[in-house]
Amino acid sequence: MKHVNFLMVALLVMMSAMVTSCMNGEENTIVQGLQPMRVKSSYIGMSSSFVSGGIELIPTNSTLVDLPSETKIALVAYKYDRALQEVNENTKKLNVELWEKPQVIDAPLNISEAKDAYNDVVATHAISTMSFDGGFMVPYLMPVSKGALYASSPAEYFLIAPIGYRIQSLTDNDKLTAELRKHAFTIVCYLDELEGTDLILHLRHTIEKEADDKEVDRIREVSEYKAFDMTSAINAFKEEVGSYPTKVIVKSKENSNSNKLTDGSTRESTYEVKLDIKE
């Protein structure tokens, strides 16, 4: 299941969207990248290209771009030859070859009046962490500029979060797939917490109950990226406070020993992400 292991690969290349190397003493002009990107759909609703940092990446092997029409963010592994395509500050489009089918990493963000109110999500289990590689890999902001997708498309703001958690130790591929589907991650924004300059968000980890309500051991550590669209929460903050937040604070329940919320090892961790939104 590459779904389980890709974060370990991402630790090597995630923060550098373009990686070059030298082989056998000769310059290698093949540039490789692995990063979350905004999916751009065609007018008929088909995923057609990807947008990152103001550049539109157009896959030459487009048959791999088979994503649900509602997909916003996908993790894209790609390559191109810089000897054939020059990339500079004026580059707007880039033809790339996909290594594999992009992976959808969208996850929901709910807005609730208050805790225990409508649309609230209550965590059932702790995660392990949202900080990897000595703090090098932590939640970060991925903005999509106004007009980046289409001439009239609004600005968007996504929280990209690496999440470590525990699953059952399974070797059967079908059972492993079923286990992964039981885990859900949701960001909750409470309207009664909108004040000051900080937008406070809460990560909730829920696990679907077993059919027989049986308790199972989950000791295998896995990790993956999730993308949460914060745009609605940021706009709600602006409407309530009168100005945009300058910082996002993400709170999560974490346990380094198990996935239980109720033992003495569970703690609340916070992650800060700076915002600089222009009117």
What are the contacts of 48-55 at 24+ separation with CB within 8 A?
Answer: 50/74, 50/76, 50/102, 51/144, 51/148, 51/149, 52/17, 53/17, 54/92, 54/145, 54/148, 55/87, 55/91, 55/92, 55/93, 55/94
pLDDT at 40: 92
Q: Which residues of the chain have pLDDT under 50?
A: 1-24
pLDDT at 22: 47
pLDDT at 46: 66
pLDDT at 219: 94
pLDDT at 131: 94
pLDDT at 279: 66
pLDDT at 266: 96
Q: Closest by alpha carbon to 84, among 17, 34, 29?
A: 29
Question: For the whole model, what pTM was predicted?
Answer: 0.89
